[in-house]
Structures are given as structure tokens and as C-alpha cells.
Chain A
Amino acid sequence: MATVISLSRVSMEFPALEGAGTVKALDNIDFDFRSGEFVVALGASGCGKTTLLNVIAGFLTPTSGEILNHGHPITGPGRDRGVVFQKHALLPWLNVVENTEFGLMLQGIPASERRRRAQENLSLVGLSDFQRYPIYQLSGGMQQRVGLARALTCDPDMLLMDEPLGALDAFTRENMQELILRVWKATDKVVFFITHSVEEALFMATRLVVMSPRPGRITHEYSLDFCHRFLEIGDARKIKSSTEFIRMREEILSIIHGEEVDEIADTTAAGGAP
């Protein structure tokens, strides 16, 4: 499997809010994203997951270390790395299809061509019938699907998803998990997905990294194949209620919970009941 994005000894420091000194949001991260992977980062609030995503997206420049994209250093955001945000970040003055083709419009691609590509991706996320809708008339789940279609329409190598399902209700969330996995399978992108939910992380990842805060580090890494099993049999509940899945879930919860106890922080962020 070819390496797409490669991080070596990446650190990110922010000035501390109170007093002098700095907060280390990322501490010497070494990580490779390989083609075909669905990487999920899991961890409590403040563990540096979002900082890691922003550094890969190019919105932040790391304090030290190197990030290579197909062997070339990342200097800023680019079309090869599409981003889906927690809050949809769509443009309310454009309708669904105009939002989806926005990236192609910026590149100056002819209207008919960009409309065709936008429609392809809207049908991939099941929104073909909503092309003319203003985005403020869509539900939260549909808005996130437009966000996904918009990112896909620029045809990036990699999709960066920053808690894309965090604001959705439980039922929509499960449907979106399945949809994202099917889109991943159909488009063959490398995905970097951030979540607070242990179950979501286990279900979706081919590789799961658990991060711990202050300083932000990757403490555990798992190779998983629950997502492949889902794509084969198509029954999410059966996978999520299997003995193996539940055993993994408890193991990871106890890791995060153990760190939380050390940190004397709230336990709600781990996504499960304490």
C-alpha cells in the first residue's frame, strides 16, 4: 500500500491561555496514511485530534516536524485534501447543487461539466432529488451529506472529516456511518475521521488511533476490519452487537477512562457512559 501522507516527528505548540509557556497540542507524532485506509482518531476533548487534522489540511503549520504529501512537503490547504467539518460550513446563498460544485466553480471549470460532476456525487450521497433546495431547509444529516458531496466533487486523494457526525441525532448518525463507509468503498479515498464515539470509531476504522491529551500523543493503535465485514454483510447492528466488537469497545473505553481518571477530567467526552 502506497503512502499518501506521511508525518514525521510533528509537534504543535500553542501559547498558553494563562501565564507564560506553551501548550503542546501535538508531541512528536509519527504516522503514515496509506492508500485505501480509513483512519479514525479517537480521544477525549483536547487530545489534539483536531489540531492533527488542521495540520494535515494545511490550515496550521506545525511548530516542528515534517508532513509529506506524496513526498512533497505540505505548505497550505489544497484540493488534494478535502475537508468535512462538524458544522456543515456550507454557503447559505447557494442551493444544494451550487454548493456541491463550488470547488469546481473556483477552478473555472465549465458550468455543464461541473454540474454533471456535482450531480454524480449528490446521487452518491442520495440527494439527487434535493438539488435546488436552499441548504437552510435541509436537516442536519442532509447538510452533512452535501458537505461530503462537496468535498468529493473536487476529487481529492484524501478526505479529512472533523467529527462530521457529532451534531446529529443517534439514528441519523448510524445511517450516516453506513453511508460514509459505502462512499469510501465506492470512491477509494483515504479517510481521516475524527470522533468522540468509541462505537463509531470501531465500526468505521481500518486503523484506529487512540490519542491522549497534554501533550497530544498517539498512545494506542489498532488494525480493524469491522467496516469490511459491514460492507460484506450490510448489517450494522449485527456487527456492533457481536461479542468481539463489545470486547474491543470495553477495552478502548477503559484505556480512555484510565487516562481521564489521571487527568481528573470529565468522563462524558469519551462518548460512552462512565
Chain B
Amino acid sequence: MSLNPFARKASLPIVDQYGAPGRGNSTFISLVTIVVILGGWWLITHLELIRPLFLPSPEMVISKFNKIACTSHYTEVFLVFIGALDEVSAPCHGFSEHALHEHILWSLYRVFTSFFLAAITAIPIGVAMGMSRFTRGVFDPPIEFYRPIPPLAYLPLTIIWFGIGESGKIFLIYLACFAPIAINARAGVRSVSIEQIHAAYSMGASRGQVIRQVVIKAALPEILTGMRVAIAFGWTTLVAAEMVAAKAGIGVMVLNAARFLATDIVFLGIVVIGAVAFVFDLAMRRLEKSLVPWKGKV
């Protein structure tokens, strides 16, 4: 028999009065929170405490998901493909003339095009800002000026400049992604130690080799942090970008649904936006782990 009354419950969070603050695993607590929120949502809607117009029930959202995602249509397409069914009979209406996956793909296309363009321009500019006094002097004022401005504020300007086509939307998201990548790349250059640079020079490195083989690689962890922040920013800016004359997109779907007071679709859209952002972040963290395993260990 153990003398320690806590020994059996070692996996539960025990408050250690003199330990490091916030120690221990919080996964279980988070799961409880999620269950409480979902359960509360279910309970409130089933007791009809709030009208569905303001808070649709979970079942309504799920059935809307099936309708917009054309679940039964695509199930039948699959069954026909494997030969279990003769023809597809279930219709696919989607919402705003597009099925859910088309909305998602349009949004992903906009975010990733902008993110890609931002990465290939902001990384070299950020590194150059870290390496050279002149470049830093040139780029610092515009970046620091526009960075804190909410994208909604310069949205009208992008319409005037680029019209209501795709380029304006991509430009808006591009701006949102650019600043965090450039600023982190610039800070990353600082993380290279003078000893590492001296060591490379004393082994015969040229300036170009020092930049390519030492500085950029040392800056990589922070460049990736910048990219992780940027993709989240881009996704956040998406709804603003899609406010203007977009036909498809997850942001458009939410905005159009709100116009028709289709609260269940608004809910669905919000959940999808959140889920995709969560997947982005997980993917970036994975990428970080595999590309910069030394991060935080040196």
C-alpha cells in the first residue's frame, strides 16, 4: 500500500505550490471544456431557450452540412463508381450555386496564392533588411506603417486599384501575409551569432556563402514562425477579401447566409473556417519540427 495519497492519481494535475507555474498536462481539461460547450449548446437549443434564428441546434447545422456538402449526392457518385448503384439520383444544390468543397477550394486557392507570393518576396526582403542598413532603412517605414492598419480599412483602396476581380482579393491577403514574414525573417538574421559568422569566414567562406550557408539557415526557425503567423493572418483576412463580389468562397458563403438570416449556414461556415485554420497550424507545426529540429535547443 502506498503511503503517498496522490500516488494513484499521478496523472491528474496536482497543484505543486512551489513548482514552476502552470506545470502539467492540460489535454484532459481542454476535452472537458469542449464537451461542456457542445453539451450546453445542445441543451439550450433542445430546451428551446433561444430561438433557432439566433442559435440553431447542432442537428440543424449537421443537416445543413450534409445538404451543402451534397453528402448523399457524392455518396451515390461513389456507389455508382464502385458499381453498387446504377445512376445518381440525389441532387446537389450546395449554397450560392456551389457545393461546400468548391467554396473551401476557392478560399484555399486565394489564401495559398497570396501566401506563396508573400513568402517568395518577404523572405528575401526580410533577410536583406537584417543584412543591410540600406535595405532596412528603405523598407522599415512602409512596412511598419501599413502593418497595424486593419485590412478592412484599405479594402476600398484595393477595389479602386485592382477592381473587383481576383487580383484585388489576392493583393489584400498578400499584404496581410507579407509583414509577419518580413519582420520575422529580419529578426531571424539577428539570431546568428557573431562566432558562427567568424568561424565561417576563418574557414574561407565568401560573403555570399556566409549569407546562404550560415545566416539564412540560422534564420530559418524564425522565418518559419513568420510563415505560421502569416498563414493565420491570411486566413483571417480572407472574409474581408471575399466581401467584395466573390461568387464562391467560404467567406462569401457566411456573408450570403447572414443576408438571408440562415444562421445555421453561418454557424457551419464559422466551424469550417476554424477547422481549416486549425489544420493549417498543425501542418505548420509539423513542418517546423521536421525542418528545424534544433529550434530552441541551442
Provide the bound-state CA to CA distance between A92 and B203, in Å: 17
Q: Pick out which of these stretches binds chain A: B37-45, B194-202, B232-240.
A: B194-202
Task: List 10 A-B residue pairs with CB atoms under 8 Å apart, sorted by A's residue number.
Answer: A57-B198, A79-B202, A79-B203, A82-B203, A89-B193, A102-B203, A103-B204, A107-B204, A136-B297, A151-B202
Query: When the two chains form their complex, are residues B294 and A93 in contact, meaning their CB atoms are under 8 A apart?
Result: yes
Q: List, in ascending order, chain A residues with CB within 8 A of B190's CB.
A: none
- Please give, as numbers and ranges, the residues of chain A lying within 8 Å of B29 by CB-CB distance: none
A83 and B294 alpha carbons, distance in the complex (Å): 24
Evaluate whether A136 and B298 lie within 8 angstroms (CB atoms) in the complex, with A93-B220, A106-B209 already known. Answer: yes
CB distance from B205 to the nearest CB of A (A): 5
B83 close to A (CB within 8 Å): no
**Residue B157 interfacial (CB < 8 Å):** no
Q: Find chain B residues with CB under 8 A from A126 CB.
A: none
For residue A59, CB closer than 8 A to chain B, the reply is: yes
Quick check: B204 and A57 within 8 Å, CB to CB?
no
Chain B residues with CB under 8 Å of chain A are 193, 195-196, 198-206, 209, 213-214, 217-218, 220, 292-294, 297-298
Known contacts A92-B297, A136-B298: A81-B202 contact under CB 8 Å: yes
**Using Cβ atoms and an 8 Å threshold, which residues of chain B touch A77?**
198, 201-202
Distance of B105 from chain A, by nearest CB (Å): 35
A231 within 8 A of partner (CB): no
Closest chain A residue, CB of each to CB of B294: A92
Option from B202, B205, B209, B298 in Cβ contact (under 8 Å) with A57: B202
Q: Which residues of B contact A272 (CB under 8 A)?
A: none
* A residues neighboring B (CB under 8 Å): 57-59, 76-79, 81-83, 85, 87, 89-93, 102-103, 105-107, 134, 136, 150-151, 154, 160
Docked complex Cα distance between A91 and B218 (Å): 8
The answer, among B195, B199, B292, for a CB contact under 8 Å with A93, is B292
Please indicate the chain B residues that have their CB under 8 angstroms from the CB of A76 in the complex. Answer: 201
Given A91-B214, A92-B298, are A106 and B193 also a contact pair (CB < 8 Å)? no
Given A85-B195, A91-B196, A92-B297: A59 and B204 within 8 A (CB)? no
Report whether A79 and B204 are in contact in the complex, using a CB–CB cutoff of 8 Å.
yes
Bound complex: CA A206 to CA B213 (Å): 37
Starting from the known contacts A83-B202, A103-B204, A150-B199, 12 additional A-B residue pairs (CB-CB under 8 Å) come to A57-B198, A58-B202, A82-B202, A83-B198, A89-B196, A89-B198, A92-B297, A105-B213, A106-B205, A134-B293, A136-B298, A160-B202
Q: Is the CB of B202 within 8 A of A87?
A: no
Which residues of chain B come closer than 8 Å to A150, judged between CB atoms? 199, 203
**Closest CB of chain A to B50's CB: distance in Å?**
54
- The minimal Cβ–Cβ distance linking B236 to chain A, given in whole angstroms, is 31
Given known contacts A106-B209, A136-B294, A136-B297, A93 and B202 CB-to-CB distance under 8 angstroms: no
- List B contacts of A87 (CB < 8 A): 193, 195
A91 pairs with B217, CB closer than 8 A: yes
Which of B196, B199, B205, B217 has most chain A Cβ within 10 Å? B199
The distance in angstroms between the C-alpha atoms of A93 and B291, with both chains bound, is 9
